[in-house]
Structure 1
C-alpha cells in the first residue's frame, strides 16, 4: 500500500492582493497598511536621520579667533594627569568681527603671562568650544548622529502601524466569529445530521 507523500505548506506571497474566495476587504486593507507602514518607516527614519546629521553638522561649525589672557594663567597642579593634557583653565578676551568684545574660559598652558595670545574656537553664539573634529571623524560623527535618530523614528512609525494592524486583525477575527455563529450550527447539521 503506497502512502501519500507528505504535503508541505508553502506560503503564498502577496496573498493580500491575490484573488481568492476567502479574501475579504479587510485583508486588502491590511495588505495596504503593512506596505504603507514599511514605506513610511523607511522614509520617516531616513528623513529624520538626514535632518539630524545636517543639524549636527551645522551646530558643530566653529571658527578660530585670536584671544588674549585677561590675567596670568594658573600654574599646573601637582597630581593632575590621566586624561588631562596639562593645560589649565583661564579667562580670555577677544574682539569679534563686528567689534563686540567677548570673554570666556579656555584651556591654556600653565603659567602663561597676562596678555598672551591664544587661539580659541567659538561657535555661532560666540561661546568658546572645543576644537572641531575634522575629516573622517567629523563625517563619522554626523553619520552616527543620523543613524541614532533614524532608527528610533523608523521604529516609532513601525510600532504605530503595528498597533493599527493589530486592531484590524482583532476586528477581522470578530467578523469571523460572527459569521461562524451563523454558519456553525448549519455546518454541524450538515456534517452529522443524517445519522439515523
Structure 2
C-alpha cells in the first residue's frame, strides 16, 4: 500500500523542484476539463430548458380546442343509468371537425365507449387544423423543461468530462513510459555504489 500524506489543496499548481513538465500539463488539462464540463453542462441545460419552455408556451397560444362530432359509433357500451361508460377508459373513434379556415378534417380521438354518431367531443388542433394533444400547463411546461434541460446538460457535460479523462489517461501512460525509460537508463548506474 502506498503512503499518502495529508491532503494539500492546489498541490498541482504549487512550486516543486521535482515537478516535471508533464505534471504541469496534467494539472492544466484537469482544470480545463472541469471548467468545460461545468460550463457546457450549465449552458446546454439552460438553453435547452428555455427552448422547450418557449415551444410549449407557443403551443398554448397557437393550439385551440375545437368541437368535433363522432362520425361512427364508438366501440364498447355505455352505462345507461349513470350516463358514463362501463369502464373508466376511453376508446379511439373517428371524428370530424372544421379548421379555422372552414376546411373539413377527420381523425381519431379518444371518446367514451358507446358514444353515438354525432356526439360532440372536444379535440385540440394546431393552426393547420391537425389533431394535437392538449397543450401543457405552465407548471407542466416548467417541469418538462427542467427535466429535458437537465438531461441535455448532463449529456453535454459528459463530452468534455470524458475527453479530459481520456487525455489524462494518455498523459499518465506517457509519464509511466518515461519513468520506465529513465529507470532503464539510470538504474544500472546506481548498482554497486553503496557504501558500507
Alignment TM class, shorter chain as reference: 0.7 to 0.9
Structure 1 residue 121 and structure 2 residue 124: aligned? yes
Aligned counterparts of 2:184 and 2:174: Cα–Cα separation in 1: 15
Q: TM-score, normalised by structure 1?
A: 0.75
**Runs of 5+ unmatched residues, structure 1:** 1-6
2:21 to 5, 11, 25: 25
Mean alpha-carbon deviation: is it higher for 37-46 or for 127-136? 127-136
Structure 1 residue 188 and structure 2 residue 184: aligned? no
Q: By how many angstroms is 1:10 displaced?
A: 1.5
CA RMSD of aligned residues (A): 3.0
Matched-pair contact (CA < 8 Å) for 1:66–1:117: no
Mean alpha-carbon deviation: is it higher for 61-70 or for 15-24? 61-70
1:177 to 177, 180, 185: 180
Q: Which residue of 1 aligns with 2:9?
A: 13
Matched-pair contact (CA < 8 Å) for 2:33–2:161: yes
Secondary structure of the equivalent of 1:175?
Answer: helix
Q: Which residue of 2 aligns with 1:52?
A: 48
Equivalent pairs, count: 184
Q: By how many angstroms is 1:117 displaced?
A: 3.8
Q: Which residue of 1 aligns with 2:144?
A: 141
Q: 1:28-56 CA distances to partner (integer Å, 9 max, x unpaired)?
A: 11111111111111222223323433444
Aligned counterparts of 2:20 and 2:100: Cα–Cα separation in 1: 70
| Structure 1 residues 49 and 40, CA gap change in structure 2 (3 angstroms) | same
Secondary structure of the equivalent of 2:139?
Answer: helix
Secondary structure of the equivalent of 1:76?
Answer: coil
Mean alpha-carbon deviation: is it higher for 133-142 or for 27-36? 133-142
Matched-pair contact (CA < 8 Å) for 1:69–1:113: no
Q: Which residue of 2 aligns with 1:97?
A: 100
